[in-house]
Amino acid sequence: MKLSKTEEDLMSHLWKLEKAFMKELLEEYEEPKPATTTIATLLKRMTDKGFVGYELFGKSRQYKPLVKKSDYFSKHVNGLIKNFFNDSASQFASFFTKETDLTKNELEELRKIIDQQIKDK
């Protein structure tokens, strides 16, 4: 299941904080801050989707992510590779390295990462 852009924004704050009450989540937003009701609606949808859980403290809820950030983005990158690059990681890598403004240093760093992965396998 996928999150909407606004849900991803909220989830980013929750991943950063690890656990948070509504007030703490609102503090993470820049001005103009979204309405409390907007955040409450997003949290409800995200809870229903299984991305967010909470613990009750009296009448207050402390929210926590139920999905790791790395797991969420890994699933979506793999979906992107499957849907847009014929399930070919090499086509994706070719596109990524040609169509982004990576510096020579960044490309060399990518090479080191790939070389290490090859070595580890």
- The residues spanned by each domain of the chain are 5-65, 69-120
DSSP-based three-state secondary structure for 65: strand
Helices in the chain by DSSP H: which ranges? 5-17, 22-28, 36-48, 69-84, 89-99, 104-120
The torsion angles phi and psi of 65, rounded to 5 degrees, stand at -70, 140
Tokens of residue 81, six digits = 């590779």
pLDDT score recorded for residue 35? 95
Contacts 24+ apart (CB under 8 A), 61-64: 61/21, 61/22, 62/19, 62/20, 62/21, 63/14, 63/19, 63/20, 63/21, 63/22, 63/25, 64/14, 64/18, 64/19, 64/20
pLDDT score recorded for residue 26? 96
CATH for 5-65, options being 3.40.50.720, 3.40.50.11540, 1.10.10.10, 3.40.630.10: 1.10.10.10
The torsion angles phi and psi of 63, rounded to 5 degrees, stand at -90, 150
The whole-model pTM stands at: 0.74
How many Cβ atoms are within 10 Å of 17's Cβ, its own excluded?
16
* Rounded distance between C-alpha atoms, residue 41 and residue 46, angstroms: 9
pLDDT tens for the chain, residues 1 to 121: 789 999 999 999 999 999 999 999 999 999 999 999 999 999 999 999 999 999 999 999 999 999 999 999 888 888 888 888 888 888 888 888 888 888 999 989 988 988 888 989 8
pLDDT score recorded for residue 4? 92
